[in-house]
Amino acid sequence: DAGITQSPRYKITETGRQVTLMCHQTWSHSYMFWYRQDLGHGLRLIYYSAAADITDKGEVPDGYVVSRSKTENFPLTLESATRSQTSVYFCASRRVGGAGELFFGEGSRLTVL
């Protein structure tokens, strides 16, 4: 089915490990986004991408790396996970032009021990 999917949905890792969260969309949307949401807080923008090979920092980019070699994929990597990165991560996409609403994935819940 067309849509935006995230994997894994749940991940437990240890401090210092590298973790990659995957985001895949089938709409060929140009724009993709990564947000994190901590308990009791709203969504905070980590990184976003306007197209393949074009990325830019959001509100809280430190400790994260992104890449976008293909339009449909936007992986988020924690190169050395820390406990403060325990969070729920949401990926989103939107099309070019018009008002363009964001479409969100179901989220990836990451726990760093």
Partner 1 sequence: DAKTTQPPSMDCAEGRAANLPCNHSTISGNEYVYWYRQIHSQGPQYIIHGLKNNETNEMASLIITEDRKSSTLILPHATLRDTAVYYCIVRVGSGTYKYIFGTGTRLKVLA
Pick the stretch among 7-15, 16-24, 43-51, 76-84 that binds partner 1 (CB under 8 A): 43-51
Pick from 85, 98, 77, 102: which is nearest to 4 by CA?
102
In total, the chain counts a number of residues equal to 113
- Which listed residue (31, 72, 86, 111) binds partner 1 by CB under 8 A? 31
**What does the DSSP assignment read for 51-81?**
ETTEEEE-S--TTEEE--SSTTB--EEESS-
Q: Which is nearer to partner 1, 12 or 18 (CB)?
A: 12
Distance CA 75, CA 64 (A): 10
Q: x/- contact string, 76-95, with partner 1 (CB under 8 A)? A: ------------x-x-x-x-
Which residues here bind partner 1, judged by CB under 8 A? Answer: 31, 33, 35, 41-45, 48, 50, 56, 58-59, 88, 90, 92, 94, 99, 101-107, 109
